[in-house]
Amino acid sequence: MTVDGTDENNLERGIYTKDAACLRKNDRHRRSLSDLSLSRKCGVWASHFQRLFVSFIGADWIYLMILGFIMAVFSFAMDIFVDLFTEAHRWIYDLADSHVILQYLAWVAYSMFLMCFAAGFANIVSIQAAGSGIPETKTSLRGVMLQEYFTFKTLVSKFISLTCVLGSELPVGKEGPFVHVGSVCAALLSKFMSHFSSIYKNKARNEEMLTVGCAVGIGCCFAAPIGGALFSLEVTSMFFVARNYWRGFLSATFGAFIFRLLPVWNRQEDTLMALYATKYRLDFPFDLQELPIFAAMGIVCGFGGAFFVYLYGKISLFVKKQKATNSFLMKNCFLYSALVSVLISTLTFPLGFGQFMAGRLTQRDSLISFFDNRTWSNNGIVADFDNDDHLAAWKHPQANVFIILSVFVIMKFWMSALSITLPIPCGSFVPIFVIGAGFGRLIGEGLATLFPDGFNIDGHTYNIVPGAYAVIGAAALTAGVTHTISTGVIMMELTGQISYTLPILISVILANMVSQSLQPSIYDTVIRIKKLPYLPTLSWGHREKYNIYVEDFMKREVCYITLNSTYRDIIKILRSGNLKTLPLVKSAESMLLLGSVERAQLLALLTQRLQHLQEENASTMPVRYKVHFETSAKESASAHLESTKPLKSALKPSVDEEEITSVYDSGLNLKKFFCSRPDIEAMEDDPDAGDDTILQEIEEWEEQQLDEQMNFNSCKIDPAPFQLVEHTSLHKTHTMFSVLNLDYAYVTSIGRLVGVVSLKELRKAIEGCMPADGVRLRPVLSNFRDRGARGTRTETIELHQLLDHQIN
């Protein structure tokens, strides 16, 4: 046997440690059998290899590299398709150069057609593909899994629609959607891999992998693995597990590597380079005197970012209102997209207004020209770069470069805000990036004109580099809109130069400080507008978070079931709301929390009861009743089987809505059966059954059954629902909810259930201590507190306070 103990030892110590114990056992077994026949040996070998394969497939890095590879291919393929689309656009446009109106029609119709197709496709295949997907991913990673956002259909819909949208040259980006695509791929890959290794069935692990998916998405989009890993973290997570840190990096690095390798194989490039590689001088990147200007740019970009978010919010709400009132717009989802597309492509028409805003450049071309390290303005006149197609777009006989840049920034600003409200896959990152770069270039060119001689240091003359201003402007404006710091890192990776680290970081941080104090981030705004179940962050030093306690914001009216609950009670509770889990207490008097019961469990218990009644109480039942009962019990049983699926997924709207309705209905079959008795009419039609005594008998029997105590003996309960006490601080509660991805937690006092805190209550409490619309809201009770004393208070109470609510 060639695989000896040493080899296995190495395997065990290495990363292949998955099934080492099994392998060793297996090995020992093999040794004892070594003198058996060859055929049996082969069988043993096969099983050995199978185990090895399973552990190989189960290794994290295999999964991460596959994910990176897939995303890189996606990103590269999309770039190629988009390039083809834009080339075709230019080709058609050039073909029609005989007449301006023909050219205009070619320019506009092409965009409109692609947009309509994209909107229609997204709408028909999977409407979940619309928007950037970052808010939904964020919500899902926060614990409220939006299952329908992670399906294959959504992936297809997003990929194809996004390609068309980008091809139509609408000012939107692929970064946000790629975060979504990445997490969908991660979810689907987990599902696929679970056929080979059971480790992929673990839910917690798969949720951890979603974060990785986000990192890969950005890593592949910008070839920025570090920035991608950090951005995904800042945007999607509230808490971040250090042990998952390397996963994002590994996957994003491999993804970015493949993404940059493909153009080399494709002979488009010579070697692996940054996406927008710049070549600014390394010996003297910037002068100290420029720092205040960079800082001021950061502040202005902070205001600009906040205004962008504000504008987006206003447009969104306006469109929403219009949609609600205008049934025509609502029904024709892509009419709105087409209108916007026509408007935007009309304005960018290169022979029309487009000539004042470099309309014929794509976003990529604009970025390349902004980052160029040559100075455009020479006393306000663009230098002679006619041989450079990109730079020539910024030259106009009637307008100087400042006017064109200003028009570009202003027009793109509202166009982008408008575009991302469309029901199509679209990201706001890249357009904001382009606007920021344009703004920075404007400032840079201005300074280069004001100080044409640059700086004189130790006899050397260093000119101002307007491209660097574009880099800083892009990073700062994006930071202002997304409220992230990692945009600075993305910027550095994107340009392949890090000599501007400090100016970039300073302006990014200032932009963050300004915009965070004015507006929520673009993603939080979408979450608010779409009313997704989210939890706001506690940021920028809210001292109040330490002085508010659970008792101030918990919900005291808890819907609970007790060990003495009757079937009637249970049905009433199930009907009264749609809580996923219900607390089980010992009795209404003691309120001692035993655990929590899932809704599906209760439905199952009701079904069980039906079966039980059928078996045991057959004799006490009226005969005709029994016949009907058998059918009903069978139906319920099948419904019960369905309900054993994970409840969280079962309770999602759309896809699973039908399923749960049937479960719900079958659960209430009993109620319907017992109380409203639709079969009575059927019986009345039957001549043998039209007997008042029987009906009365049935009614009495039913009432009696309903008043019986529920049998909880075989009920599956979760004995460890998350518990808080009244004196837990808001800060701690927020931490626990964020870290442990809680939806709700029960509030107990010596084991007694006294309240419940759900995401909703927590959200209200947090918003209450944050300034909203300039007015500071505070929880009602916290006003009556002595704040000074609470500042240093520990969370202890005196025992007699606790024992005041004495356990019965």
Give, as ranges, the residues between 520 and 549 that touch its own copies (CB under 8 A): 537-543, 546
Per-residue binder mask for its own copies (CB under 8 A), 315-354, x = binder:
----------------------------------------
Structure tokens at 17: 């440690």
**Angstrom distance (rounded) from CA 386 to CA 72:** 35
The reply on whether position 21 binds its own copies by CB under 8 A is yes
Exactly one of 77, 273, 627, 781 binds its own copies (CB under 8 A); which one? 273
Q: Of 551-559, 584-592, 667-675, 677-685, which part binds its own copies (CB under 8 A)? A: 584-592
The reply on whether position 759 binds its own copies by CB under 8 A is no
Q: What DSSP assignment string belongs to 131-158?
A: B-SHHHHHHHHTT---GGGGSHHHHHHH
Minimum separation from the CB atom of position 394 to its own copies (A) = 24
- The answer to whether residues 749 and 799 touch, using CB atoms and an 8 Å cutoff, is no
Exactly one of 26, 608, 614, 735 binds its own copies (CB under 8 A); which one? 735
The reply on whether position 489 binds its own copies by CB under 8 A is yes
**Angstrom distance (rounded) from CA 286 to CA 463:** 9
629 contact partners, CB below 8 Å, separation of at least 6: 610, 613, 614, 621, 673
Minimum separation from the CB atom of position 613 to its own copies (A) = 21
Per-residue binder mask for its own copies (CB under 8 A), 59-98, x = binder:
xxx-------------------------------------
Using CB under 8 A, which residues numbered 446 to 465 contact its own copies?
457-458
Minimum separation from the CB atom of position 374 to its own copies (A) = 15
Minimum separation from the CB atom of position 545 to its own copies (A) = 10
Minimum separation from the CB atom of position 14 to its own copies (A) = 5
The reply on whether position 378 binds its own copies by CB under 8 A is no
- The answer to whether residues 380 and 401 touch, using CB atoms and an 8 Å cutoff, is yes
Helix (H) or strand (E) run with residue 67 in it: helix 60-95
Q: How far is CA 733 from the centre of its chain?
A: 22
**Angstrom distance (rounded) from CA 302 to CA 477:** 6
The reply on whether position 284 binds its own copies by CB under 8 A is yes
Minimum separation from the CB atom of position 298 to its own copies (A) = 12
CA separation, residue 299 to residues 201, 296, 303 (Å): 47, 5, 6
Minimum separation from the CB atom of position 308 to its own copies (A) = 18
Could you give the 3-state DSSP secondary structure of residue 268? coil
> Which of 764, 678, 757 is closest to 723 using CA atoms?
757
Number of residues that bind its own copies (CB under 8 A): 133
> Which of 484, 469, 510, 536 is closest to 766 using CA atoms?
536
Give alpha helix (H) positions in 379-428: 389-392, 401-419
Q: How far is CA 593 from the centre of its chain?
A: 34
Q: How far is CA 75 from the centre of its chain?
A: 19
Using CB under 8 A, which residues numbered 188 to 247 contact its own copies?
198-199, 201-202, 204-205, 225-226, 230, 233-234, 237-243, 245-246
Minimum separation from the CB atom of position 398 to its own copies (A) = 37
Using CB under 8 A, which residues numbered 585 to 604 contact its own copies?
586, 592-595
Using CB under 8 A, which residues numbered 769 to 788 contact its own copies?
771, 774, 776, 778, 788
Minimum separation from the CB atom of position 342 to its own copies (A) = 39
Minimum separation from the CB atom of position 621 to its own copies (A) = 28
Exactly one of 650, 698, 749, 768 binds its own copies (CB under 8 A); which one? 749
- The answer to whether residues 255 and 178 touch, using CB atoms and an 8 Å cutoff, is no
Question: Is the Cβ of residue 159 or residue 746 nearer to its own copies in the bound state?
Answer: 746
Exactly one of 1, 277, 618, 623 binds its own copies (CB under 8 A); which one? 277
To 10 degrees, the CA torsion angle through 606, 609, 611, 613? -140
Phi-psi sector, 271: left (phi>0), alpha (psi -120 to 50), beta: beta
The reply on whether position 802 binds its own copies by CB under 8 A is yes
Q: How far is CA 16 from the centre of its chain?
A: 32
**Angstrom distance (rounded) from CA 425 to CA 157:** 9
The reply on whether position 649 binds its own copies by CB under 8 A is no
Question: Is the Cβ of residue 358 or residue 561 nearer to its own copies in the bound state?
Answer: 561
